[in-house]
Amino acid sequence: MLFRRPVLQVIRQFVRYESEVVSSLVLERSLNRVQLLGRVGQDPVMRQVEGKNPVTIFSLATNEMWRTGDNETYQMGDVSQKTTWHRISVFRPGLRDVAYQYVKKGSRVFVEGKVDYGDTWIKYVDDSTHHSW
């Protein structure tokens, strides 16, 4: 609320008409951020799309654990676990090269980034293809 007037004044300079849609879009915020801590499932591979920069790709497993049963004392059989696999793509040039060189299968890594579910077919330089969604 503190910055409402200045933001709307700036928007009005660039938009010829004012509508409720423009006002609501200006005030609405969204967030696309993900943090993962887990183990690498396979050594990273570096792939390159024709005419684009290379990308380092690896899989990361995260585990969710919870107690089952009503026992007051901890027993190994009382714990359930679910593993979720994530496909990690590193695009930033310096980080991409470091990840390719130093990240290995079994390494424990922390990844921070954003989620992107682009639906595209990718043709790599080595003539392999991959459908991404």
Q: Where are the domains of the chain?
A: 32-69+78-113+120-133
Q: Which residue has the tokens 């290379």?
A: 54
Q: What is the pLDDT of residue 71?
A: 63
pTM across the whole model: 0.63
The correct answer on CATH 3.40.109.10 for the domain covering 32-69+78-113+120-133 is no
Spatial distance between the Cα atoms of 88 and 58, rounded to a whole number of angstroms? 5
Model confidence over 15-73: pLDDT tens digits? 555 555 555 556 778 899 999 999 999 999 999 877 888 999 999 999 998 887 766 66
Strands 45-48 and 54-67: antiparallel
